[in-house]
Structure 1
């Protein structure tokens, strides 16, 4: 493997050619931060293609087996995903619904080629970096429509949503949980689409810090996630849960008013603080004693489609703990479960009408330096081209004072970009 850096005249144009080139491989990961930068992530565009080695979960000891896979490939970038249903390995839980989308519970690969694209340069690692540059620069970028064909359906109709909402609020009144994230699926059977063009359109409609095109054979993850699940930078662990959503305004004045209302909304604020407490508790299992803290609470982050309330929780990892054990101790993402976490996950499986699979799991990479960065898989389409099945889900937190009509509308707001892309708007 050879690593070389090249100067770029137009990094965005090169990234689009590189994405087109990457999509022809059976295993591909394209991560785009879309210019969002913070103190915890420093990648602009990351591309990994071709599987020199693969890890596929088989339902047994996934986290420990993955760690052995990582240890067997030191100095490698290792991108991949964790599915939500790994909860069944972590706790005494199960999933009653069919795996219609047919993704494994986890998949990671050691790439044949990696590209780190910055504002002016690209660093390429592979057998022949110069040949890779020539091949990418000769690649013609397509610019077609998503080409979606199929009928998008609601797994849960309006009436069923309200019935389930009331049942879950009753569990809150009885003290079984005090917050639960309830999700619904939108799907299409016998569906077809162009995954690459669909992703490009999604990233244009809803550019986010954790945008991702991920290909695993004939299965695709097309993500516009705004949320960091967990990262490790040196010895520091960082989680940035999102709870609290408001639409963007049509004018600057209206936009500022909606931000002010979100920051002062008691229900949204209480949801966010509940999740912060849950994340703090999860991180304690991996932390040096006394290091868990929340340096930023209830910050408003504005994206093209929505405003969000985001908090940051950090700690120092205790000595000797492995990367996958850290993730296992915090998985699934707290913002997608509820509190208490195990009770919430039991109710989720009892009341939701679909298996979550990759949705509300985590997507990202392990780095050669022993760091990692994973997003929460939300605002994301999942597509199995062989089975011709398309799926995406949206959800929101139910608390004692939650209003069903508002929560239902929030689900549709969170799926707005996905609906727009499939409708060709």
Structure 2
């Protein structure tokens, strides 16, 4: 069923509220960002006619079989700790969320919106349309403030960054992404209201509301991990962050400072080199190229430095193998990749889980698109445990105190939505 709507923003809000009443739902919103590789404004997948839950070991192989059995649209996520399947690594840090390493489902109902055109695929499409239209529009409110605790104090964070920099000085690594967890125990939230408010406060091109088995992800990610369009792979790592300013003149100055900041340029180009190397495992020889270097994207909360790397996919490499060949994404690991992941396992205090992983979809035409799970709240409603992780790139030139402030800048929107203290 294809129909036109007069106000797509209101329809999206109603459709999201309707989808959230189901046990399993995924809402992917591009927030109308101008993306040459985007294929939709919004996709909503509801109800699981088939689902896959897997742990590191043979998760990618299981997904390949699941995809063959469900050749249409499927959506789900890859957890960061699938690194233990792609490399000889371990994850020994505490895990308080207990999310799986991989979860995908084939939806019973699929809704897509592009501009003012809405398509509904599923049984009883007219009834679905009427059920959505009958809902009243509500922005939603999270009534009680949530106070987050931190796994690192500011002093502990700074001391740890200095230890990591010693590894860089010794030549163990060149750059790494060091992450810390903020969390709340025994807390009850309204995930839908929090996501709506987060998406309003910090609209990004890879926003996601994901719900399954009483677990929730409320994501305001600005970053694409990997997409496939025809035989073309696209990766767009983000490295380099600067604050926004209400004064246009000051804001433009901040952009220029970011564009020419030695440390930000250094960390960006190192990750670009890493991604280029990762893509060679899937690419036709000679096709890996940097389509855009040091691009600046401005979001409501921050400016980001984004580079675009592309290649042509070899015929014998499957879509899932292309993801496996580049996972986890370089922007969340470091270089050399394996050494950086080993060291972060040593210095971080929480299992990353879905954070630093990817959420997205495989479409029926063979394409796919996955984000990087950052700026994301994760919630286990059975355990009443809320988690939010944030990280920054550590290089030789990194200033530990400034990196701590960058973490707070990245956390700003989520902290504001929760309305609590830390």
TM-score range, shorter chain: over 0.9
1:125: which partner in 2? 121
2:161 paired with 1:177: no
2:341 paired with 1:345: yes
Gaps of 5+ in 1: none
2:420 paired with 1:421: no
Distance 2:328 2:337 in 1: 9
Moved more, 296-305 or 55-64: 55-64
Q: How far does residue 249 in structure 1 lie from its aligned partner after superposition? A: 1.2
Q: How far does residue 217 in structure 1 lie from its aligned partner after superposition? A: 1.6
Kept after mapping to 2: 8 A contact 1:59/1:105: yes
Q: How far does residue 151 in structure 1 lie from its aligned partner after superposition? A: 3.1
1:6: which partner in 2? 3
Q: How far does residue 149 in structure 1 lie from its aligned partner after superposition? A: 5.0
Equivalent of residue 29 in structure 1, options 26, 30, 44: 26
1:409: which partner in 2? 405
Distance 2:98 2:137 in 1: 30
1:259-288: CA deviations, max 9, x gaps?
000001010001000000000000000000
* 3-state secondary structure, aligned to 1:330: coil
* 3-state secondary structure, aligned to 1:346: helix
1:165-217: CA deviations, max 9, x gaps?
11100000111001011011100000111000000000011000001100012
2:74 paired with 1:70: no
2:99 paired with 1:103: yes
Kept after mapping to 2: 8 A contact 1:150/1:190: no
Distance 1:352 1:97 in 2: 8
Equivalent of residue 300 in structure 2, options 282, 300, 304: 304
The total of aligned residue pairs comes to 421
Distance 1:179 1:247 in 2: 22
Kept after mapping to 2: 8 A contact 1:149/1:193: no
1:24-55: CA deviations, max 9, x gaps?
11110001111102211121010000000001
Moved more, 20-29 or 55-64: 55-64
1:365: which partner in 2? 361
Aligned-CA RMSD value? 1.1
Gaps of 5+ in 2: none
2:94 paired with 1:116: no
2:13 paired with 1:16: yes
Kept after mapping to 2: 8 A contact 1:148/1:194: no
Equivalent of residue 43 in structure 1, options 36, 40, 43: 40
Distance 2:6 2:33 in 1: 21
TM-score (norm 2): 0.98
2:271: which partner in 1? 275
Moved more, 198-207 or 115-124: 115-124
Equivalent of residue 332 in structure 2, options 325, 336, 347: 336
Kept after mapping to 2: 8 A contact 1:10/1:120: yes
1:354: which partner in 2? 350
1:228-282: CA deviations, max 9, x gaps?
0000000000000000000001200000000000001010001000000000000
